[in-house]
Amino acid sequence: MKLLIAVGVIALMVGGFLFVKGPSPVIIVAPEHIFDIAGVAVTNTMFSSWIVVGLLCLVAIIAGRGVSLVPSGFSGFVEAIVSGFYGIVVGVAGEENGRKFFWVIATIFFYVLASNYFGLLPFNGIVGKVEPGHGEKQVAFQQTSIAGFPVAYIGIAPEECEGAACPGSQAAAPAGGAAKSAAAAKPEAAHEGKTFGLLAPYFRSVNTDVNTPLAIAIFSFIFVEYWGLSALGPGYLKKFFAFGALSKGPMGLIDVFVGLLELVSELSRMVSFTFRLFGNVFAGEVLLMMMSFLVPFVLVDIFFGLELFVGLVQAFVFAMLTLVFAQTAVAHHGGGDHGEASSADHH
């Protein structure tokens, strides 16, 4: 039995590589422009983010309509997930701060999680519009339409061309019209009904666009600082700008330096948040793309399962780090004016 399973797996790997693999993937870091709205360029990651937000709103509306004293069905499932996550937040920050932080932490977690999982759906990266290549290897696409809306699918056969060899390329055109012969027309006939170029997919994982993780990181940073100022007042800024410590003499310079280091550390969180999420999601996208090309049917399923786990972990890590930093920001430090005020109140 084990031998048959091993032979079957090898047969799937070899057969997939020889007969089912698609064109060699083209890895592009920047999001692709797909259409314009009122003169505003819309990228595929932006378009995907709108869909993710729409789906989250739809889930909230459907679940909200079914809320009852005894949860059941879809509403009960959603309530169980939200309640479980609320319990985690309260367990870290306490009841009072947990209620204050929850809506921001939950928004980050569920949005990042939904974005990561949306990027794993099978239509990502394969349906879109074909753009002419700019010196890169170009791939043949068969044009079709759905509900009257033109789309392009990657062909099963990895038919490719490169540079001047591509049909319609200016470099491939004859210098004179009379020089065009029947032999030169044969490649065009062979490629009839196909378009050569690079695919700009309509759907792409939202967090493969570095702007999205950066926006969420800035969003997280602003709320952490807001909560710190709300809880501690202007005294919260003393941990960054401890210039009052200069009255202590030369030793006070150490406090000033430590405060400035704390400020740099606070700002650097936005960078670490951004590239941790972007790097993991983009690397996962490239990994699945390459495995789908090299070893269809077998290894891609294993890595797909891995990406499901990574998507959950990245959303949870982003949300929990924001929660921990928020709890640290609102915590009263023992020394300084707060400690003195607390002592005076006690007496």
What was the pLDDT predicted at 64? 85
Q: What is the mean pLDDT of the chain?
A: 76
What integer is the mean pLDDT of 117-135? 75
What was the pLDDT predicted at 344? 40
Cβ atoms of 205 and 126 within 8 Å: the answer is no
Cβ atoms of 285 and 28 within 8 Å: the answer is no
Q: What percent of the chain has pLDDT over 70?
A: 66
Q: What are phi and psi of 114, to 5 degrees?
A: -65, -40
Query: pLDDT tens across 249-295, in order?
Result: 677 777 778 888 888 988 999 999 999 999 999 998 888 887 777 77
Burial label, 100 (beta-carbon count in 10 A; 0-12, 13-18, 19+): middle
Q: Average the pLDDT over each of 90-94, 96-100, 189-193 and give the range with the smallest value.
A: 189-193
Cβ atoms of 296 and 14 within 8 Å: the answer is no
State the sign of the Cα–Cα–Cα–Cα dihedral 131, 133, 136, 137: positive
What integer is the mean pLDDT of 168-173? 42
β-pairing, 137-146 vs 160-162, is antiparallel
β-pairing, 137-146 vs 40-43, is unpaired
| C-alpha radius of gyration, the chain, whole number | 28
Other beta carbons less than 10 A from residue 229's beta carbon: 15
Query: Of the spans 4-18, 76-90, 328-342, which averages the highest pLDDT?
Result: 76-90
- CA dist 305 and 300 (Å) reads 9
- CA dist 63 and 83 (Å) reads 13
What was the pLDDT predicted at 237? 82
What was the pLDDT predicted at 35? 85
State the sign of the Cα–Cα–Cα–Cα dihedral 248, 253, 259, 260: positive
- CA dist 197 and 47 (Å) reads 22
If you search the block for the tokens 């007969």, which residue do you land on?
Answer: 19
Contacts of 227 (CB under 8 A, 6+ apart): 100, 101, 326, 329, 330
What was the pLDDT predicted at 177? 42
Closest by CA to 283, choosing from 303, 302, 305, 298, is 303
58-85 per-residue burial string, b: 16 or more CB within 10 A, e: under 16: eeeeebeeeeeeebeeebeebbeeeeeb
If you search the block for the tokens 């330096």, which residue do you land on?
Answer: 257
Query: pLDDT tens across 39-68, in order?
Result: 889 999 999 999 999 999 999 999 888 777
| Local confidence band at 184 (pLDDT 50, 70, 90 cut-offs) | very low
Top-confidence residue, 291 or 211:
211
Query: Of the spans 130-134, 158-162, 314-318, 328-332, which averages the highest pLDDT?
Result: 314-318
Residue 172 pLDDT > 50: no
What tokens appear for 47 in the block? 């378009």
Total residue length of the chain = 347
Top-confidence residue, 185 or 198:
198
What was the pLDDT predicted at 250? 72
